[in-house]
Structure 1
Amino acid sequence: MVVRWLQDVVNLVQRLLFEPSQMLKVGFLCLLAESFINVLIVEKVKYTEIDWKAYMDEVEGFINGTYDYTQLKGETGPLVYPSGFVYVFTGLYYITNQGANIKLAQYLFGVLYLVFYGLIVLILKKTEAVPPFALLFFTFASYRVHSIFALRLFNDPVAMLFLYLAIYFFIQKKWFIGCAIFSFAVSIKMNIMLFSPGLLFILMVEEGFIQTCIYISLCGTIQLLLGLPFLLENPYGYIKMSFDLGRQFFFKWTVNYRFLPENVFLSRYFHICLLAVHIGLLIAVFMLRWRKLTKPLDAKSILLILFSSNFIGIACARSLHYQFYIWYYHTLPALFFSTKLPVPLVMLMLGCIELCWNTYPSTVLSSSVLQICHLIGAVALLLPPRTEKRKIS
């Protein structure tokens, strides 16, 4: 009797961990755990001020009637995010008593994380891209991600929340609302544009050239409307400050290129080389993987195209800062498990990436290991997937 009971328990655990059909059950349990973890973090771990005060200073200028983007500044420097950021954090400014109620802001970001996590569960359930045990990795394996939300209050997770909401609609092929939400995510932080090459390919395949142009126009119109108060005041200043692709990063904060001499890191030629590699890898993944997918695209293919587009951009980024981990953390299992990389190597890579992002300050070793993992992942994404059954002539 006892042996049979134990065997039933083992079978149940195996199903919960490895059968995609069990994703919602595991997700519900993980959300309960996340609720407790986030409260524990807010109550027991010391808050560290980095950008929150600067965010509040920046939106306070807007609230006081300053629409010239070049005049909106915080204690860490000028405002460098598009207008959606201003509107979202203006709301947080009022809710948190002009930014003074830090504890309330932390709890709001804790709730944000639960919604964020719920979206991840729904997306992975819909696509069956990874087994449910990946959720345990998300919940228990990353101090850094929880810190980005509840202890640092960065704008990156807000942008990524809307990005995942857009993806949720994309995998259901609701392109209009998905593109509208995607554009709003871009208006909070520009890193969302790393998904755009994949999204462009998906729209061209699914909707054709004319309809794709309509969706691009929709995204542009949303950006125009959101930025209108600032464009009317100082159009050049708004575009330059919020969409500055040439912005220089400080070497002391880099997570991925600590192994380089500082003069090389700051070199314009190095940046041009990274851009060339980025474009080359996008062309390669298009030729070797994306265009070989069966049309119409299924939910899993849509997810992997978007995630791989973003991953290539991150692997070729000029500099990664600690809050940027949220840009791809929840995409990594789906990406790596879709390749022919052996499962032990995938687990090792996920562990190494996690350790690298938790090494502060970054070291020559940590940044080298991180970029090696990125390189392995990028090469693996160019090769045929674990089960290549989606061929077309």
Structure 2
Amino acid sequence: MICELDLNLCWWFFCGCAFGSPDTKIDWDAYMSQVTGFLAGERNYAEIHGDTGPLVYPAGFLYIYSGIQYITGGAVFPAQILFGVLYVINLGLVLLIYIRAQAVPWWALSLLCLSKRIHSIFVLRLFNDCVATTLMHASVALMQQQHWHLALTVFSAAVSVKMNVLLLAPPVLLLLLKSLTVWGVLTSLGCAAILQVLVGMPFLLTYPMEYFSRAFNLGRVFIHFWSVNFKFVPEDFFISKPFALSLLILHLGFLFVFAQYKWCRHEGGILRACGPQNVREEPKKSDLNVVDKFLRSVQSLSANHILTVVFTGNFIGIVFARSLHYQFYSWYFYSLPFLLWKTTFPTPVRLAIFFGTELCWNVYPSTPVSSVALLLCHVSLLAGLWFAPSEYPYVDRTKEIKKS
């Protein structure tokens, strides 16, 4: 009933956005130009361009948007209908992972379909962020089911559409180390690597350096005007290396602190959580069968803990990202209700942070005031997550063994 309510709400919002607003495409023509060049046989990333500049996305983007071009004929309106369906699919995945985590009251799930900016990003503007976000949520849903090899494959597919998904890489690696044996970790990462090789094969065999330098460029400097965050920072300092390095150090530092003292608190720190000396509470049974003994070597993480680590790790990356463009809101919007209800804030404060964040993302163009307000919302949420109690990370297998 909850899912039906939210899906009905999202459908009405989708209809209002798709058919009640003018065409506001931004990158669509550039996407179609890049796809056309690829389909014409061009395999040199340095020679594939669009209206907004050179192609800067991995090859999965080209395959998916080639399919979209084939289905829609390159027309905007059919593509908006297609992305409306994608919006509903993504929302269904998000509701699934929320319900599994059982950490948010049912009424708060309606917040997931109340963002005007998200509707615009998905249904009107047709950004590839929408495809990457949907694949990322599908990967998280598979992680909650302990299907790590398939989850890492889907995660790699999301990365092949847009590289921002790599913000989840550190927390996902931590979950792998906590959940699987060394062999399991290596084979899971192998699945992700193989998919990247297969996706990029036409370009790796022809112009490999051009592919790597364009599709996985970690040194891109975004235009100050389009930044939603840090607009209050002077442009000269905004594009400087010291500012970028400072944010990177803060990003990595907060990831380590959260991993050491929050995500691995029960085990006694990162080394104990990921090493063979990992100690956790387990049923003391001497008559376990062979299957039980095998399962004990694969630590089953709770759906709530998986979502906490993935969403919090991604959010830390958002807080310390040098530049957030408007479409980047889709990277973390769907995690906000979950993260807010992980804190001990009163409900009015949670809602104030949620709608304050939404308001900042709807200020166009962004201003120093809106950027400061967004930073305050981010920092407040991050502080709330730090002082929130840490959940028990593992599935209680006592009941499972008693049943057997």
Check whether TM > 0.5. Answer: yes
Offset of residue 135 of structure 1: 2.2
1:142 is aligned to 2:118? no
Aligned to 2:58: 82
| Contact 1:284–1:382 (Cα < 8 Å) also in 2 | no
User: 2:18 is matched by which residue type in structure 1?
Assistant: V
Aligned to 1:153: 126
Deviations 1:57-81 (A, max 9, x none): 0010010000111111001000000
Structure 2 CA distance for aligned equivalents of residues 227 and 390 of structure 1 = 36
Q: 1:6-21 alignment to 2 at 5 Å? A: none
SS of residue in 2 equivalent to 1:117:
helix
Aligned to 2:10: 34
Q: 1:111-130 alignment to 2 at 5 Å? A: 111-130=85-104
Aligned to 2:158: 185
Counterpart selection for 1:106 from 69, 76, 80: 80
| Contact 2:168–2:313 (Cα < 8 Å) also in 1 | yes
SS of residue in 2 equivalent to 1:272:
helix
User: 2:86 is matched by which residue type in structure 1?
Assistant: L
Offset of residue 341 of structure 1: 2.5
1:271 is aligned to 2:244? yes
Structure 1 CA distance for aligned equivalents of residues 391 and 60 of structure 2 = 41
Structure 1 CA distance for aligned equivalents of residues 2 and 43 of structure 2 = 47
Counterpart selection for 1:54 from 5, 18, 30: 30
Counterpart selection for 1:66 from 7, 22, 42: 42
Counterpart selection for 1:372 from 373, 376, 392: 376
Query: Superposition RMSD on alpha carbons, in Å?
Result: 1.4
Aligned to 2:314: 310
Structure 1 CA distance for aligned equivalents of residues 393 and 120 of structure 2 = 40
Structure 1 CA distance for aligned equivalents of residues 248 and 304 of structure 2 = 28
Q: When the two structures are aligned, how many residues end up with a matched partner?
A: 363
| Contact 1:166–1:179 (Cα < 8 Å) also in 2 | yes
Structure 1 CA distance for aligned equivalents of residues 349 and 92 of structure 2 = 28
The 3 A distance-change label for structure 1 pair 76 and 296 is same
1:234 is aligned to 2:207? yes
Q: Provide structure 1 residue ranges, at least 5 long, that are not aligned to the other structure.
A: 1-24
Offset of residue 37 of structure 1: 2.4
Q: 1:208-227 alignment to 2 at 5 Å? A: 208-227=181-200
Aligned to 1:362: 366
The 3 A distance-change label for structure 1 pair 36 and 388 is closer
Structure 2 CA distance for aligned equivalents of residues 219 and 133 of structure 1 = 36
Structure 1 CA distance for aligned equivalents of residues 4 and 328 of structure 2 = 27
Structure 2 CA distance for aligned equivalents of residues 134 and 190 of structure 1 = 30
Offset of residue 182 of structure 1: 0.5
Structure 1 CA distance for aligned equivalents of residues 207 and 380 of structure 2 = 45
| Contact 1:171–1:302 (Cα < 8 Å) also in 2 | yes
Offset of residue 218 of structure 1: 1.5
Aligned to 1:283: 256
Offset of residue 55 of structure 1: 0.3
Q: Provide structure 2 residue ranges, at least 5 long, that are not aligned to the other structure.
A: 267-279, 281-298, 395-404
Structure 2 CA distance for aligned equivalents of residues 191 and 143 of structure 1 = 22
Aligned to 1:246: 219
Deviations 1:22-41 (A, max 9, x none): xxx12212212222321232
User: 2:103 is matched by which residue type in structure 1?
Assistant: A
User: 2:104 is matched by which residue type in structure 1?
Assistant: V
Stretch moving more, 281-290 or 205-214: 205-214
Counterpart selection for 1:169 from 122, 130, 142: 142
Structure 1 CA distance for aligned equivalents of residues 347 and 183 of structure 2 = 42
Structure 2 CA distance for aligned equivalents of residues 68 and 325 of structure 1 = 31
SS of residue in 1 equivalent to 2:181:
helix
Aligned to 1:339: 343
| Contact 2:301–2:393 (Cα < 8 Å) also in 1 | no
- Normalising by structure 2, report the TM-score: 0.87
The 3 A distance-change label for structure 1 pair 390 and 54 is closer
Structure 2 CA distance for aligned equivalents of residues 338 and 230 of structure 1 = 43
SS of residue in 2 equivalent to 1:109:
helix
Task: Determine what percentage of the aligned residue pairs are the same residue.
Answer: 41
